[in-house]
A and B are shown apart, each in its own frame.
Chain A
Amino acid sequence: MATRAQPRQLYPAGSAGAEALATGGAASAEGPGRSGPLQDETLGVASVPSQWRGVQGIRRETKSCQTASIATAEAAAQTWKHVDAEVQTEAPVPVGVLPASQYDGPRLAAFLRRVEAMVIRELNKNWQSHAFDGFEVNWTEQQPTVTCLHTLGYPPAQGQGLHVTSVSWNTTGSVVACAYGRLDDGDWSTLKSFVCAWNLDRRGLNPQQPSAVVEVPSAVMCLAFHPTQPSHVAGGLYSGEVLVWDMSHPEDPLLWRTGLTDDTHTDPVYQVVWLPEPRHSHRFQVLSAATDGKVLLWQGLGAGQLQLTDGFALVVQQLPRNTKLRKPPRGETEVGATAVAFSSFDPSLFVLGTEGGFPLKCSLAAEEAALTRRPSSVPLRAPAQLIFSPHGGPIYSVSCSPFHRNLFLSAGTDGHIHLYSMLQAQPLASLQLSHKYLFAVRWSPVRPLVFAAASGEGDVQLFDLQKSSQKPTVSIKQTQNESPVYCLEFNHQQTQLLAAGDAEGTVKVWQLSTEFTEQGPRETEDLEQLAAEVAT
């Protein structure tokens, strides 16, 4: 089409064909009035090849991929041989002392001759020297004050208004358990209560959420952890039953129970203690003391039943007559036991605190049969050997000194603490700590002259007999509204910890300052001196 418009430019001049073509083209372009034959002519298309653009074709390639087939193989392993082996430590054989005839007499004599003078000189220099006066070395970080490490509580129990009646540390010192109940109810209650345990060494300890909780059908009055099993705990109930739980099985914690048989206590059990069995000293039995005057020994049988193996009954007529009681108990002939403490030096000797306010020195080996009215499956004996001068009210707690075989403390509702020696009926010392009741007293496991007492005014009082025998060294305020502190226990493994439970339902773990945890140089001797003030 483009060629018709400019014929002269395309075709070179002088080419006849081109002229004809050009004329014909021009003629037909003039319109209908052309003289040439009316024919349609189609002219060839002239194309101009592009000089810069190449033909773009579509290129195609075929590729495929396929995962290789998965190779599988089967192989089995099975132990088919095993060997049993046992390991047992043997008691170490002590190296014997050489018998006299075997050592070389002359050489020993010569040696002693040589060194004697020098040693005597050094010994004399030593006791005369003032070089180390006032020189003290501190190996542990000093804690100057008493601080509260944890405040533990169980909200459902606190919501019911339950008190913490007893606390106990387990054998490893890392778990503290508390028993909930009420200490001021006078009647039988169907109150459901709890035993809660917190593992203080666990990270992420939630003070309001115990690591183990056991629901108990009746109020729990006392608690004691097993001496070697870290998770077994025995508790005495308001109904007179004694139960043993395993806190490591939260779904089914109850191990043994006494049930309500003829043998069980008929009054609240105020204290339970674990004792080694007489023949198998690695197995333990439970001793329970209740206000019905009976002190009973139980052993766990396989069927979950606690069986009575031995027992004692306190009867007024059988009390020793060495001290004249100011107010002998009248009416009932039973003497209610409210506290038990065993001597750490003589395992068969124990002290009972009674409702009448007089401590009794008793022995597990007593032979005399008790005059009880109610029969029991095991014959009961009268354990009392010595009666001590009474307090002005019932005794709630006794504690035997771990450092001296004759000393023990008792605390009662008259607000006084009496320090007794087993050798005489009159107390060695009588300290008034509170104007209200005193609920618990415990000797410190590390310092021979220190003890702690829980008062009805909401304080935990720490006494250091070396510093002052009249007033407490430290008085820790546990409750803000003066509600009583009912129980306290020292931790025997981590000796700077003291747990105390109060009427608000909280257990506070106190960290004691270093002055209460490190023994001074002459404390045992000072304690001996105190005990020796026995009036002859």
Chain B
Amino acid sequence: MELLDRLEMAEVEETLKRLQSQKRVQVIMVVNTEGIPIKSTMDNPTTTQYANLMHNFILKAWSTVREIDPQNDLTFLQIRSKKNEIMIAPDKNYFLIVIQDPTE
């Protein structure tokens, strides 16, 4: 069991590193469905602030999609702002949040 856990954790780290190395990515964060951050490339206080703010937003978007069409589901969320772009991949247990600076 220990070995399996370690392998999984190594895979998680590798995937996050791959994502971090994508062009102009600033921040990567994984939070669970309660809004508690699990992994992050930022310091703890900022991560918690982001996690709390994003969490409500994600749930609102998800419930909006489901209400319009109960057969539909939220697959991806992007917020574009003047300075950067926030991308969220939602799931049953976790949310992956990536912040990228797409401007030239």
Q: A97-B37, A120-B19, A123-B23 are in contact. Are A108 and B102 (CB under 8 A)?
A: no
A104 and B51 alpha carbons, distance in the complex (Å): 19
Cα of A98 to Cα of B87 in the assembled complex, Å: 22
Set of chain A residues within 8 Å of B16, measured between Cβ atoms: 112
A122–B78 touching, CB < 8 Å: yes
Contact partners of B22 in chain A: CB under 8 A? 120, 123-124
Q: Chain A interface: which size bin?
A: 20 to 34
Distance (Å) between the CB of B100 and the closest chain A CB? 6
CA distance A119 to B25 in the complex (A): 11
Residue in B48, B96, B98 whose CB lies within 8 Å of A95: B48
- A129 partner residues in chain B, CB cutoff 8 A: 102
Q: Whole-angstrom distance from the CB of B20 to the nearest CB of chain A? A: 11
**Contact-residue bracket for chain B:** 35 or more
B87/A123 in contact, CB under 8 A:
yes
**A132 contact set on B, CB distance < 8 A:** 80, 102
Is A14 engaged at the interface, CB distance under 8 Å to the other chain? no
Structural contact, A113 and B25, CB atoms closer than 8 A: no
Main SS of the interface on chain B? mixed
Whether B85 contacts A126 by the Cβ 8 Å rule is: yes
Interchain CB contact under 8 A, B8 and A105 = yes
A: which residues have CB within 8 A of B?
94-98, 100, 103-109, 111-116, 118-120, 122-124, 126-127, 129, 132, 137, 519, 521-522
Max chain B Cβ within 10 angstroms of own Cβ: one of A100, A112, A116, A132: A112
B19 and A116 contact, CB distance less than 8 A: yes
Determine if B71 is an interface residue (Cβ-Cβ < 8 Å).
no
Interfacial residues, chain B to chain A (CB-CB below 8 A) = 4-5, 8-9, 11-12, 15-16, 18-19, 22-25, 30, 32, 35-38, 40, 44-45, 47-48, 51-52, 75-76, 78, 80, 82-83, 85, 87, 89, 91, 93-94, 96, 98, 100, 102-103
**Does the CB pair B96–A94 fall under 8 Å?**
no
Supply 12 A–B pairs (Cβ within 8 Å), ascending by A: A94-B45, A95-B35, A95-B52, A98-B37, A104-B93, A107-B94, A113-B11, A114-B91, A120-B18, A123-B87, A124-B23, A127-B23
Q: Are B4 and A106 in contact (CB under 8 A)?
A: yes
Inter-chain contact A127/B100, CB cutoff 8 Å: yes
Task: Give, as a whole number of angstroms, the nearest-CB distance from A115 to chain B.
Answer: 4
State the CA gap A122–B88 with chains docked (Å): 10
